[in-house]
Amino acid sequence: MTPGERQKLRLGLAFISPWIIGFAVFGLYPVAMAVYFSFCDYDILRSPILIGTENYTYMLQDEIFWLSLWNTAYYAAFAVPLGLIMALLCAVLLNKEILGRSIFRTLFYIPAIVPLVGVAMIWLWLFNGQFGLVNYALSYLFGIQGPLWLDDPAWTKNTLILSQVWQIGGTMVLFLAGLQDVPRSLYESAELDGANSLRKFWSITIPMVSPVIYFNLIMGIIGGMQEFVKPFVMLGPDGGPERSALLYAVYLYQNAFTYNNMGYACAMAVVLFGIILFLTWLAHVGMRRHLYYAGD
């Protein structure tokens, strides 16, 4: 490396040093300490005591841990794909030349910027078993009695999934951006060959926006496995009746700040990181052969 190149390197490092320092202090250090505390008996008020893998061993016997993991897996397995499909369909519809398209795009995006606590409070009232608008609409339009959405263990997780699908605005905007890059000539060629709308959607739109689907899938997995605010506000820290909707992040919060068992909470955080890492790798392996990038 020549003296000039070394000088440029030092200058470049100096420019990015604020980011490096911030990442080390607010990113790497907390992660490293969480891993360390996961091997400790630690309650914040006293000094941590090393106990080896005891937190992880206890986790294997903790029935509530497995219940929260199952609830979270169920929630993510339905909420993530359902949200992706709804967002893609809305994006395709709002990409058409229709009257008032900008207004519709804004209306669909607004739920994504509403504070999560406010969203949870709205759904809390909408899904009220006695006075909620959802049950009133079901009774008025179809003559059926709606379930106790938030009080029946069979419906609590499904209620959370339905409330999550409503906030597809951010994902929809990314799909809309991806659809802008699909060449019109591809659709015109397909029309000359006699392809119908469904065929064009499946053979042109899906492959051309596959990188956006991939990105949204990864972000959906990360967000779904860490869902916290809505279940906490709508169903309380115990996850509703019989802990039927106690999600992983809520149980982690309980251990950290209700039971002051910070060491066990850190162990749960490390396990959650490993689960998300594995699911991300699984999604990457499953989709890498179906991704299409322009120029490949």
Percent of the chain whose predicted confidence (pLDDT) is above 90 = 65
- What three-state secondary structure class fits 120? helix
Res 145 pLDDT > 90? no
pLDDT confidence tier of residue 252, bands split at 50, 70 and 90: very high
pLDDT of residue 143: 87
Give CA–CA dist 165/171, Å, rounded. Answer: 11
Task: Read off the pLDDT of residues 56-79 as tens digits, 9 standing for 90 and up.
Answer: 999 999 999 999 999 999 999 999
Report the distance separating Cα 9 and Cα 224, nearest Å. Answer: 40
Between CA 296 and CA 288 the distance in angstroms is 13
Separation CA 167–CA 87 (nearest Å) = 9
At 263, give phi and psi (nearest 5°): -60, -45
Which pLDDT band holds residue 181 (cuts at 50, 70, 90)?
confident
Highest mean pLDDT among 5-9, 162-166, 211-215: 211-215
pLDDT digits (tens, 9 = 90+) for 100-139: 888 998 998 988 888 889 888 988 889 988 888 999 999 9
Would you state the pLDDT for residue 116? 87
What percent of the chain shows pLDDT beyond 70?
Answer: 99
Bridge partners for 49 per DSSP: 41
* Enclosing H/E stretch for 138: helix 133-142
